[in-house]
């Protein structure tokens, strides 16, 4: 690692725990927070460019290498780094050169914002070469890819952090504090999802973040034509997993998934283009509304909804419910026994103030303008600060695997008529002893 971070000491300390990266890691290199972190980027389309700009706003990060096979993307990114006052990074223009980038000895970590199909293999390559892997969502598309992430992280001692920004939403962090303070009593049920009309993005390659950035239609649309499952569960399930201590005293046990018929994209085509639309003959596979019910080892249930191909406003549909009350995002309201009037909702605002995250209190100004209402700053900050301290990331390979695997598991359940499908235990039983590591140190 650059700037004196001792990777051998980090690996040795990780091995000495006897439990790999499942232990709370925040004492490995305490106080080593004044270093400069060197990063490489794999993919600088719309999302990768957002991360690049965010990292260039920090004075403790330097960008050494960037890969993108789209020459416009690559050159724009290289220019951005140079315009920020740093030396022009080395550029890589071929997909297979991700190995060369990961093998560089001047990088501490790699940000992976390439199309989904590359995420797991590139994260594995980063860890194999002693780099922290910061991978966009989802981290893996198959059960085996999820296992590869876990096994590689355990074997190499290198962290893999899925950059799930919604875990840092200000309201869901306040709810996490409420859960940990026992305000909801014993947790019973949660709801979440990704409910967002993506039809304009699916069909228009130049819509998202302007032309030439490689928008979702250049690769995401393919999944709607080939797979019928919840292929974007992590924005919702990430915060819920923290509320329910998944992989740390609890785990996902099984799921059942059902899909409606797939008519939304066809209806969009008929409405906007009819027979002249270039996608008129596409056979869409992903159901318009996919509903997944997850059960946990501790007896809670979770309902996860994917709804991205019908006209609707955006919503993540969060709900946290326990023996003492509940919070619903749609209402922006709570009901807490002993606090709320019987059968009445209370506005969430005063609870937001009372249980606000210490991260937001300390760094709200720094987060302004960083993307997605400030969430992007916090997820990037957590990745960088973990590297500087030489510790595990607050969301690790077990989280990346457990949340991402919902896609292939839901696909399997739907194919079997909604039959129950078991979750792999990626922790190998360590979930019974693991302590929470997310949002526990007040810093990241």
Q: CB count, 10 Å around CB of 96? A: 9
Please report, in tens digits, the pLDDT of each residue of the chain (444 residues total).
444 345 445 443 443 343 344 433 333 344 456 789 999 999 999 899 999 999 999 999 999 999 999 999 999 999 999 999 999 999 999 999 999 999 999 999 999 999 999 999 999 999 999 999 999 999 999 999 999 999 999 999 999 999 999 999 999 999 999 999 999 999 999 999 999 999 887 876 543 333 344 555 667 788 999 999 999 999 999 999 999 999 999 999 999 999 999 999 999 988 887 677 777 788 999 999 999 999 999 999 999 999 999 999 999 999 999 999 999 999 999 999 999 999 999 999 999 999 999 999 999 999 998 888 899 999 999 999 999 999 999 999 999 999 999 999 999 999 999 999 999 999 999 999 999 999 998 888
Long-range pairs for 69-75 at CB < 8 Å and ≥24 separation?
69/93, 69/94, 69/95, 70/45, 70/212, 70/214, 72/212, 73/44, 73/45, 73/48, 73/49, 73/212, 73/213, 73/214, 74/44
Q: How far, in Å, are 67, 106, 273 from residue 64 at the CA level?
A: 11, 8, 45
Element (H, E) at 39: strand 37-42
| Cα 15 off chain centre by | 26
Spatial distance between the Cα atoms of 76 and 89, rounded to a whole number of angstroms: 12
Spatial distance between the Cα atoms of 67 and 73, rounded to a whole number of angstroms: 9
Burial of 24 (0-12, 13-18, 19+ CB in 10 A): middle
pLDDT score for 61 = 98
pLDDT score for 369 = 85
Q: Beta strand 325-328 with 346-347: parallel, antiparallel or unpaired?
A: unpaired
Q: Is the backbone of residue 155 left (phi > 0), alpha (psi -120 to 50) or beta?
A: alpha
Looking at residue 86, the DSSP 8-state letter turns out to be: S
Give the residue among 271, 298, 287 at the shortest CA–CA distance from 410: 287
User: Where do the DSSP E strands lie in 252-398?
Assistant: 252-259, 289-296, 301-307, 319-322, 325-328, 333-336, 346-347
Q: Which two tokens stand for residue 427?
A: 């922790």
* Residue 161 near residue 386 (C-beta atoms within 8 A): yes
Give the residue among 146, 268, 262, 271 at the shortest CA–CA distance from 199: 268
| Cα 396 off chain centre by | 11
Spatial distance between the Cα atoms of 57 and 66, rounded to a whole number of angstroms: 17
**Euclidean distance between the first and final Cα of the chain, in Å?**
21
Q: Which two tokens stand for residue 386?
A: 């973990």
DSSP string, 103-171: T-TT-SEEEE-S-GGGHHHHHHHHHHTT-EEEEPSPS-SSHHHHHHHHHHHHHH---EEE--GGGG-HH
* Residue 284 near residue 296 (C-beta atoms within 8 A): no
Confidence (pTM): 0.92
Total residues found in the chain within this entry: 444
Beta sheet of 160-162, edge-to-edge order: 90-92, 61-67, 37-42, 109-112, 132-135, 160-162
Element (H, E) at 423: none
Q: State pLDDT tens for residues 315-328.
A: 999 999 999 999 99
Q: Is the backbone of residue 249 left (phi > 0), alpha (psi -120 to 50) or beta?
A: left
Give Cβ neighbours of residue 358 (< 8 Å, ≥ 6 apart). 442
Q: Is 346 helix (H, G, I), strand (E, B) or coil?
A: strand
């Amino acid at each position: 690692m650059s700037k004196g971070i001792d990777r051998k000491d980090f690996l040795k300390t990780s091995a000495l725990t006897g439990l790999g990266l499942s232990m709370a890691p925040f004492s490995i290199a305490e106080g080593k927070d004044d270093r400069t972190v060197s990063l490489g980027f794999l993919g600088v389309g719309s999302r990768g460019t957002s991360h690049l700009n965010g990292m260039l706003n920090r004075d403790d990060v330097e960008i050494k290498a960037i890969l993108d096979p789209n020459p416009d993307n690559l050159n724009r990114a290289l220019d951005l780094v140079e315009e920020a006052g740093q030396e022009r990074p080395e550029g890589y223009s071929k997909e297979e050169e991700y190995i060369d980038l990961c093998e560089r000895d001047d990088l501490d970590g790699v940000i992976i914002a390439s199309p989904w199909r590359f995420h797991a293999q590139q994260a594995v390559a980063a860890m194999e070469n002693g780099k922290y892997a910061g991978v966009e969502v989802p981290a893996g598309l198959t059960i085996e890819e999820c296992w590869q992430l876990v096994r590689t992280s355990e074997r190499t001692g290198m962290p893999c952090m899925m950059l799930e920004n919604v875990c840092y939403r200000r309201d869901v962090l306040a709810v996490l504090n409420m859960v940990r303070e026992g305000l909801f009593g014993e947790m019973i049920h949660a709801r979440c999802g990704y409910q967002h009309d993506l039809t304009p993005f699916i069909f228009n390659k130049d819509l998202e973040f302007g032309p030439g950035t490689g928008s979702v239609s250049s690769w995401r649309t393919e999944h709607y034509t080939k797979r019928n499952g919840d292929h974007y569960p992590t924005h919702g399930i990430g915060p819920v997993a923290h509320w329910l201590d998944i992989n740390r005293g609890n785990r996902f046990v099984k799921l059942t998934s059902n899909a409606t018929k797939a008519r939304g994209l066809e209806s969009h085509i008929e409405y906007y283009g009819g027979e002249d639309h270039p996608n008129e003959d596409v056979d869409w596979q992903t159901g318009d509304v996919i509903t997944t019910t997850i059960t946990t080892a501790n007896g809670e249930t979770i309902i996860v909804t994917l709804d991205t191909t019908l006209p609707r406003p955006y919503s993540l549909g969060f709900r946290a419910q326990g023996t003492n009350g509940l919070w619903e995002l749609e209402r922006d309201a709570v009901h807490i026994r002993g606090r709320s009037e019987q059968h009445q909702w209370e506005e969430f605002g005063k609870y937001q103030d009372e249980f606000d995250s210490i991260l937001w209190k300390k760094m709200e100004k720094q987060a302004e303008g960083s993307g997605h209402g400030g969430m992007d700053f916090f997820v990037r900050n957590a990745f960088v600060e973990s590297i500087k301290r030489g510790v595990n990331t607050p969301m690790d390979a077990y989280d990346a695997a457990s949340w991402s695997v919902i896609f292939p598991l839901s696909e399997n359940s739907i194919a079997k008529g909604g039959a129950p499908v078991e979750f792999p235990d990626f922790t190998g039983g360590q979930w019974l002893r693991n302590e929470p590591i997310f949002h526990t140190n007040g810093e990241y």
